[in-house]
Each structure stands twice: as C-alpha cells, then as structure tokens.
A and B are shown apart, each in its own frame.
Chain A
Amino acid sequence: MSLFGNNKKIRIFFTTDVHGSTVVFKKFINAAKFYEAQIIILGGDMVGKMIVPLVEQADKSFRANYLGKVYDVKMGEELEHLEQNLENSGLYPLRLSPEEVRAFDEDKSLVEKRFGQLAAERVAKWMQIAEDRLKGTDIKCFIQPGNDDPYEIDSMFIESEHVKNVDETIVELDDNHEMISVGAANPTPWHCPRDLSEDELSRRIELLANQLKNPKNAIFNLHVPPFDTNLDSAPELDQNLTPKLSLSGGFKMASVGSKAVRSAIEKYQPLLGIHGHIHESRSAQKIGRTMCINPGSEYGEGVLRGVLIDLSKDKIENYTFTQG
C-alpha cells in the first residue's frame, strides 16, 4: 500500500545520528511541518554517549564533573536547567548519592545496565513526543536504530499510524519508490552493539535489495556510508584511538565506510542512498547514477542537520542540506 498518489512529488526530510539529544529529536519531529515534508526519516544512532553523574552533596546541592568542568548547582531550578542542558547535548544526567557513586565505581556492570535503562527511557519518551505531535497529520515518521544503539531500546519503538521502526524492512513510500533500511554498520574501533562484519552486512542488505520490485527507483537507507567517498571520511586513529595529524596540520583523514554498502549501491544502482554514521562527512556524491547523501550531525550543539529531498516519479528533483 503506497502512501501517496502515482505522480505526486514527495518531499523527504532525512536526518541521522541525534545521539540522545532531546532538543534535536524534537526539532526532527517538527521539521516535517517546518520544511513541508511528507516523510521524515531518522537514519540511526539514537542513544547518547555517556551518563553524567549529579552527585548529591551534604548541603543538598549537586555537583557534576563534565569534560573537566565542575558544575555546582542548587536543588530546584538550577539543577533542572543543568539536567535539561545535558539532555539537549545528548547526555544522560543521573542524580546519585555518594553511596551510589561508590557502588558504580566498584561494579562497572551497574553503569552499563543503568546506561541501557536510561537510553531506553529516553527513546520511549521520544516515541511519545513523536506520536503526540504527529497525531492528526498525514506525516510519516520512519526511524531505525544505528550501530551505536543497544538492543535494549528496540522494545521502546512503538508501531503506530505515524511512527515506524523500519530497520531491516522494505517500506513503500509511494507507488514509485520503495525504501530498504539497515541500521547496522561495519566494524568500528569502539565495538558498538550493532557492528557487523562486512560479509554479514552485505548479506542483510542483499536480503532486502533482492525483494525490491524496482531497485532503480529505490532508496537505500543504510546507516553506514559507502566506502571511499566524501561521505565516509573520518580522522584516522592510532592504536590509542587518538587522531593522527596530517602534514598540513589538520587531522589525517581516512575512509571508514562500508565496502558492502558500496558494492550493493554499485550493483543495484538505486535512485538514492541516505546515510549517516560519520558526523563530519556532511556531503553528497554520486556513485554511478545513485546520489548518496550524508547530512552529517551536530547533535552536541543542539543543531538539527538534515537534507530535504524532493522526489518525482523517477528522479530526484532536488536536494537541499539544512541546518536548524
């Protein structure tokens, strides 16, 4: 069942890698109305990077140590303001007593467990925001987890009229365009929950691509960008995961995208590839006839980076990078 009529143009808003930033997620949901898009897609990596402990002090104030800066805040408005700022930067503020901090220090598995819970809670909160805001509209919201996202969050995705988890599925956007989605990625130095070998990634993409009625008009929503493009350039790391420097003083960059994704795009030559994963590689590049786009990410600053794509029956009318 298609969403739109046969000859209508559709406008898609695509963003990715929001990494726990609630303000960016809210902007993503509002982007549909703001940019007059019928479909909004979030390409993966929904969870944040870390917990920031807010440790209760003897005078009932709270102390947070974040990125080398100490924040002392009083209970009430100050504390809530700090928590909101941290949440908007994609972090998980957590009020803890000194005893709880000691317990976390002694047993690191508690931290991991709590991180999973906090991540799942935030995704659940977001799903509710999406549902509330999209209710009564014709807007479709497609979301998928990315390689950074732990499996604990999967149960938080709600299937509703407006919001759908599209990971490893095929969706018909209209009578002319189908979309396949895979949120997993090739191996990263951080051994993320959904990192897969290139072979396994290739198998999962093939499984979906094989079922497409018309691959030439399809959209490949693959979280990781194709290898050796402008979309997959990231700082090259040494053994200590520290970026190497180049002769010119900047970081030495390397291609870190997926060869499986590239070969799938070369083989099927879909209309469009939408990708993320590499935040600093905001770019668009053609592989054969396929336009591949990575809108990048600036979630830490609360900025929604995305791309608006206008599709007609069998071509991309235009694409426009946005920064909101």
Chain B
Amino acid sequence: MQFGLVYKNTALFNLGTEIAKPQGSILVWILGSISLMLSFYVIYRGIKLFMKFVWGAMILTWIMLAIYAGVMLSVNPDIVAAGMKTLQNIDYQAVLNQAASLGWQKGFFSVAATIMAGITYMNLTCLGSTYSANIAGEIKRVDKAQPLAQYGSIFLFIIYYQIYTYVTYHGVGIDLLQAISKLNSAGQDAAIFKAFPQIPYLLVYATQNPILLLLGGPFAWGLINWVGAMGLAFAPVRNLFAYAFDGMLPPKLNEVNRRGSPVYAVLTGFIISWFQFTVNCITPLLSAYQTYTITIWFFGWIFLSIAAIIFPWKRKDIWEKAPEVTRQKIFGAPAIVVAGVLGLIISLAAVYFTLVPSLIGASVYAQLPALLTSFGFYMILPIVLYYYSMSVNKKRGVPIEKRFKEVPPD
C-alpha cells in the first residue's frame, strides 16, 4: 500500500487494500492459508527451527525500531502533514477538525483507556514470560527462570514501547494519533486514509525511501507479528497433546513420530486454526474473539487468582512443601494469596474496562451476534466437549473422574 502511494501505482495500492480486508477477500484467504501452513510446518519441525525464526524476528524487531525511530526523530508534524498532502491530498488540520466534530478535544486524556492499555501490556508481558514455557516444555528451577522471564519481558517491552511511542509522538504528533483513534472508533478513518492507518502505516508520510519503508514499516511489522503468532500456536498444540494425554481427546493426538514431533496434534491444531481463519474470512461472527481477546484472557485469570487465594488452605500438603519464595509472607498473609488478591482485582477491572465501553455504546446491538456466537464457540463448546468426553470414557470403563483425585494413603 505504501509503495503504491510512493510510486503512484494504483494497482499496487489496491493490492494492499485488498490484503487489508477483514472479510470477503480470496487473496487474504490464500495468503493466510499459506501463512498458517508455514507456521504449523515450523512447529512440526520442532523447537530448533522455530528458535531460528524467533532470533531472526528479534533482530528484525530492533532493526525496525532503529529505522523507525531514526525516521521519526528526523521529522516533525509539519513534515508529516506535508507528506499527507503530497501523497494523498489529506489535510492534517482537516483530520483534526473532523475528529473534533466527533467530540475529540486537544489534550484529551482517558483514565479508563490508560488503565486498559496498561493491563493489556501487562498481559502481553505475561504472554512473553510464558512463551518460554510453551516452547521449551517444562521449566526447571522456576525460582530463577520465571523472575528472569517475567522481569526480562517487562523490561524489554517497556524499553521498546517507550521508544516507539515517544518517537511517534515526536514525528507524527500526539494530536493526529488521538484524532485517528477517534475517527477509527466512529468508522471514519478508512474514508480519509483509504486504509486502516495503523502507526507503522504513518511512516510513509515521514519518508518515501523504499528501503526504510520496507524495514521500518508494516512489512517488517507484519513479519515480526507472524513469528510471534507462530509461537502462540505452540500453546494449543501442547494443549491438544496434553488433553489427549489426559484421556480427554483421542489417544491418536498423543502420538509422536520418530523425530518426537506430535504430528497429529500439530495437524489438528492447523485444521482448527485454518477453520477459524476461513470462517473469519467469510463472516465476522467469530471475530469477537479478536475484539475481546483481553477480556477472555482476564476472565480465565479470575479463576487462576481465586485458585491462588485458596491454595495454601485447600492444598496444605503441597503448600508446605513449596519453595521458600512461594511461602514468604507479606503483611502476615502468604505472598501467593496477596498476588491472588491483586490478580483478582486487576482481572475484574480488566474484564470491566474491556466489556463496558462496548456494551454501553450505541454499537451494542451490532456487536451482539458476534459476541454471542464467539462466546458459544469458544466458551460453551469446550464445556460440551468435555462432558461428552467424560461420558465416552465412562462407557469404556475408564475411571476418568478418579484420574486426578488423590488416592487416600491410609
């Protein structure tokens, strides 16, 4: 899309617009299917190949930041405004005025949005810290590995986003970013920019150098995200394997080939992902999962937090044997309980802040079908499958209900 603007090539721009379509594009479906195949092939091949991709993405991430920051620091909102005018005949001030007509005010600040963003980033760093567990399997010496992963990912994340955000404010200007956000929520941004103007896209207004655009813009951004998403796919494959291991899914999914790769779990993971992707290419009915990803994550965290709060009493036997660091007390209460209470408050707040703005808004009825379909597919269907599996196992004489129950020693 950016190259289409730079070279004034309509076909190239239209190709980019086509790829950006959320639904109804055969091209998106073909490219997405290929991307999924590649992702699951890498997972099938194993951790060594995947780690090469991760290191490649990591290097590209910092190269991209360096280039992006260099460009943004070398420009200012006036230069960006000139770029907008030259490339697309968009008037910088007119964009601000249109946002203002929708209620945006210069210097706008939202506590709820700030908390929401903070919670989202915190969750993403947690994803970063569990990333290693997903790809490396069981982690030993958690007392060293987890703090390193937790604080390491938070540290990297803060550094990266502080730089990214600061240089964007410097180059593009905070007013334009807020105005675009307001226009986006009203569905008016695409009409002005002829595309969804994500931050990396704005780079084209600051530089028209093709190499800088390639390495610092949406292409590099997309590539990095693809590798990141590839890592996330490890988790469902691991879960499918584990569910089969625990007897909840057919044992075939628990089989590995000679190379030790869980080939059927990988294949099933691919089929499920591809099915979801295909549905999303046709209809937005299952897309609420994307909109409400944070809500769903934190919904799960509510239960995790409650488990942490009751753990020292519910499983006193394990608690007493836990490492010293876990049994430490803060203000007389076990650290894990304090963490559980904090986690519960944050999770409830996250669920509230992610649900309420959309539910009380005018678009609630428009979003309701997608919300209900996604809820049924992602929340209700697994419960149905769980009880179906329990019933099948019971018929086969497998005492599935006793599998994780403690055998009384006396």
Residue contact A284 to B402, C-beta cutoff 8 Å? no
Whole-angstrom distance from the CB of A245 to the nearest CB of chain B?
10
A286 to B257, CA, bound (A): 9
Among B120-138, those with CB < 8 Å from A are 132, 135-138
- With A250-B137, A251-B140, A324-B405 already in contact, the answer to whether A284 and B132 are too (CB < 8 A) is no
Query: B404 at interface (Cβ–Cβ under 8 A)?
Result: yes
- With A34-B408, A304-B407, A310-B397 already in contact, the answer to whether A249 and B255 are too (CB < 8 A) is no
Give the chain A neighbours of B87 by CB distance below 8 A: none
Whole-angstrom distance from the CB of B233 to the nearest CB of chain A?
15
Residues of A within 8 Å of B, CB-based: how many?
38
Give the chain A neighbours of B400 by CB distance below 8 A: 320
Residue contact A320 to B247, C-beta cutoff 8 Å? yes
User: Which of A25-33, A46-54, A167-175, A199-207 sits within the interface?
Assistant: A25-33
Give the chain B neighbours of A248 by CB distance below 8 A: 47, 51, 132, 135-136
Give the chain A neighbours of B247 by CB distance below 8 A: 320-321
Q: Which of A69, A247, A320, A324 contacts B407 (CB 8 A)?
A: A324
Q: Which of A284, A301, A304, A308 contacts B321 (CB 8 A)?
A: A301
Query: A322 at interface (Cβ–Cβ under 8 A)?
Result: yes
- With A250-B132, A285-B255, A320-B247 already in contact, the answer to whether A34 and B402 are too (CB < 8 A) is yes
Contact mask for chain B residues 381-410; partner A; CB cutoff 8 A; 1 contact, 0 none: 000000000000000111110111111111
Query: A318 at interface (Cβ–Cβ under 8 A)?
Result: yes
A286 to B255, CA, bound (A): 8
Query: A2 at interface (Cβ–Cβ under 8 A)?
Result: no
Contact mask for chain A residues 80-121; partner B; CB cutoff 8 A; 1 contact, 0 none: 000001000100000000000000000000000000000000
Query: B113 at interface (Cβ–Cβ under 8 A)?
Result: no
Determine the residue in chain B with the shortest Cβ distance to A230.
B256
Determine the residue in chain B with the shortest Cβ distance to A27.
B407
Query: A246 at interface (Cβ–Cβ under 8 A)?
Result: yes
A211 to B409, CA, bound (A): 38
Among A292-323, those with CB < 8 Å from B are 300-302, 304, 308, 310, 317-318, 320-323
Determine the residue in chain A with the shortest Cβ distance to B262.
A230
Query: B245 at interface (Cβ–Cβ under 8 A)?
Result: yes
A230 to B149, CA, bound (A): 27
Whole-angstrom distance from the CB of B261 to the nearest CB of chain A?
10
A310 to B51, CA, bound (A): 41
Give the chain B neighbours of A30 by CB distance below 8 A: 407-409
Chain A interfacial positions (CB closer than 8 Å to B): 23, 26-27, 30-31, 34-36, 69, 85, 89, 230, 233, 235, 243, 246-251, 280, 284-286, 300-302, 304, 308, 310, 317-318, 320-324
5 further contact pairs, Cβ within 8 A, besides A249-B136, A320-B398, A324-B404: A85-B321, A250-B132, A284-B254, A321-B403, A324-B405
16 sample A-B contacts, Cβ–Cβ < 8 Å, listed by A number:
A26-B409, A34-B407, A35-B399, A233-B260, A248-B135, A249-B132, A249-B136, A249-B139, A250-B137, A250-B139, A251-B140, A286-B255, A304-B407, A321-B245, A321-B247, A324-B404
Chain B interfacial positions (CB closer than 8 Å to A): 47-48, 51, 132, 135-140, 145, 149, 245-247, 251, 254-256, 260, 317-318, 320-321, 324, 396-400, 402-410
